[in-house]
Amino acid sequence: MTQTAINPTRSQNYPEWYQQVITAAELAENSPVRGCMVIKPWGYALWEHIQANLDKRFKATGHVNAYFPLLIPLSYLEKEAEHIEGFAKECAVVTHHRLKDDGQGGLIPDGELEEPYIIRPTSETMIGEMYARWIQSYRDLPILINQWANVMRWEMRTRLFLRTSEFLWQEGHTAHATAEEAMAETKLMLDVYADFAQNFLAIPVIKGEKTESERFPGAVNTYCIEAMMQDGKALQAGTSHFLGQNFAKSSNITFLNPQGELGHVWTTSWGVSTRLIGALIMTHSDDDGLVLPPSIAPYQIVLLPIYRNAEEEAQVLAYCQELQKSLQALQFQDEHLRVHVDKRDLRGGEKTWQWIKKGVPVRLEVGPRDIASASVMLGRRDLDPKNKQKLEKVALTTDITSILAEIQHNLWMRAQQRLQKHTHEIHHQQDFETFFSGGDICDTDCRGGFALCYAADVPEVEAIIKPLKVSARCMPLDDNTEGPCIFTGKLVRGRTVFAKAY
């Protein structure tokens, strides 16, 4: 039996494998606060790269950043009944503004607030209040604002990165003079998310619209990108919402059009979160730990000095530092290479496996013999750890960016092939039920997958799929075909993707 760095393996216990990858890569751990996590430096570096890349994309499309309060007055949420109904069970409520001594060496809340505050589960209502102050005329439109922030949704069952009570995210909120302009914004940001997921994270996604039951509370239309994890489950990787005039009316955001007529603006919201790190882990990682696309890796290359004594140490470290400098001058995806020399006093094998488990794309081992031959030993994270090649120093500096591009492409192709292999057209309700109850109607080694079928967006279908613990993930935007619903027989336009999901 092949020895692996992560136990259990994916095939033995996928949920526990996921937790062990996070631990081995030192990405995050549970905090003393129930349902909240501490994101460690290696994990936070991933979020910083996500944030930096997305922020460039947002600004390139005309958006600017702002910041809004963490606390939202309860009365603001009460203005939008459907919205608060969707979040009511997840809200954390602040009712007091100070503490006092309880007389027994402890502390108790004191100073009850006249109106409770909600720790933001999302900021629509607060931002709506501010937009109502800022907007008077069509000349004030559009407003294209994004916020990088933390939010809280009191989750009962949590899992690091995928579902925590507090998480980091960005939320874009825009206001427009016409419905057409707002809808164009909604779809533009969906495209931004899809391009980011596929070309930066190497995660293939399906762009689609959510069914009515899965729609964001208060939205007219919700669009999303759905990704397939290695266990065949779906993960919603980003959403973009056309809110119509619902929030504008509840917050009284009005403007005068060029004809001098008073009307409500049309709004959108869109966001992604630290859940993307969970998607990254479950899309690319293996039984030896985290696997990172070079685009997002905190270090794309790690140099591992190998020496036996002080004399060799000085010689090898000098060689590594010279190599680091030359590599850092090169660029991959329009950024200088991120190169690290591991100078820690650890055995070579221990160092190597630590970086394998952290997912670093390229490892370069350098010892006295390599210096003598002006070369390095190169290991790639997309290949078996035992698969190493000798590369001349000159060839390394000319080939390394191509090697990184090849790793990025290989990870993308593996994920794309998985999505294609495990997406199945279903034509009968019985086959649908067999597929999601563990029956083998197709050749699948990921114990599930996506079912693509014609399905009416009606409550009767929801009642059928709920016992199977399946949900409608999205209705793909590029599907204009027609066919009979496999559950009701009604003629519907476009198919729906169903899956078990995180």
β-strand partners of 450: 423
- Asked whether the beta carbons of 451 and 436 are under 8 A apart, the reply is yes
Q: Name the segment(s) of the chain with CATH classification 3.30.110.30.
A: 423-499
β-strand partners of 7: none
pLDDT band at residue 36 using 50, 70 and 90 as cut-offs? very high
pLDDT value, residue 446: 47
The verdict on pTM exceeding 0.75 is yes
The SS3 of residue 340 is strand
CA dihedral (199, 173, 74, 106) in degrees, to 10, reads 40
Closest to 138 measured CA to CA, from 174, 169, 178: 178
pLDDT value, residue 443: 38
pLDDT band at residue 440 using 50, 70 and 90 as cut-offs? very low
Q: Is the peptide bond before 8 cis (omega within 30 degrees of 0)?
A: yes
pLDDT in tens, 303-326: 999 999 999 999 999 999 999 999
DSSP 369-386: HHHHTTEEEEEETTS-TT
Plot region of 111 (φ>0 → left; ψ -120 to 50 → alpha; else → beta): left
Helix (H) or strand (E) holding 96, with range, is strand 92-101
- Is the pLDDT reported for residue 25 higher than 90? yes
pLDDT in tens, 96-105: 999 999 999 9
Q: Which fold has domain 14-95+123-284?
A: BirA Bifunctional Protein; domain 2 (3.30.930)
- Asked whether the beta carbons of 153 and 269 are under 8 A apart, the reply is no
pLDDT value, residue 437: 85
Token pair, residue 353, equals 């496996």
The amino acid at residue 42 is W
pLDDT value, residue 3: 85
pLDDT value, residue 471: 96
Token pair, residue 354, equals 């630590």
**Domain at 301-402, CATH homologous superfamily:** Anticodon-binding domain (3.40.50.800)
- Is the pLDDT reported for residue 349 higher than 70? yes
- Asked whether the beta carbons of 297 and 359 are under 8 A apart, the reply is yes
Give the rounded percent of residues in the chain with a pLDDT score beyond 70.
98
**Bridge-based pairing state of the strands 107-119 and 92-101:** antiparallel
pLDDT in tens, 373-411: 999 999 999 999 999 999 999 999 999 999 999 999 999
- Is the pLDDT reported for residue 106 higher than 70? yes
Task: Report the top-level CATH class of 423-499.
Answer: alpha beta
Closest to 349 measured CA to CA, from 341, 339, 357, 340: 357
CA dihedral (93, 154, 123, 200) in degrees, to 10, reads 160
Token pair, residue 347, equals 């055995």
- Is the pLDDT reported for residue 177 higher than 50? yes
Say how far apart CA 30 and CA 44 lie, in whole Å.
14
Q: Name the segment(s) of the chain with CATH classification 3.30.930.10.
A: 14-95+123-284
pLDDT value, residue 447: 57
- Is the pLDDT reported for residue 297 higher than 50? yes
DSSP code for 192: H
Phi first, then psi, for residue 146 (nearest 5°) are: -120, 150
Q: Is the peptide bond before 32 cis (omega within 30 degrees of 0)?
A: no
pLDDT value, residue 1: 56
DSSP code for 451: E
pLDDT in tens, 442-479: 333 445 799 999 999 999 999 999 999 999 999 999 99
Say how far apart CA 263 and CA 244 lie, in whole Å.
13
Closest to 289 measured CA to CA, from 200, 356, 208, 224: 356
Token pair, residue 316, equals 């090898």
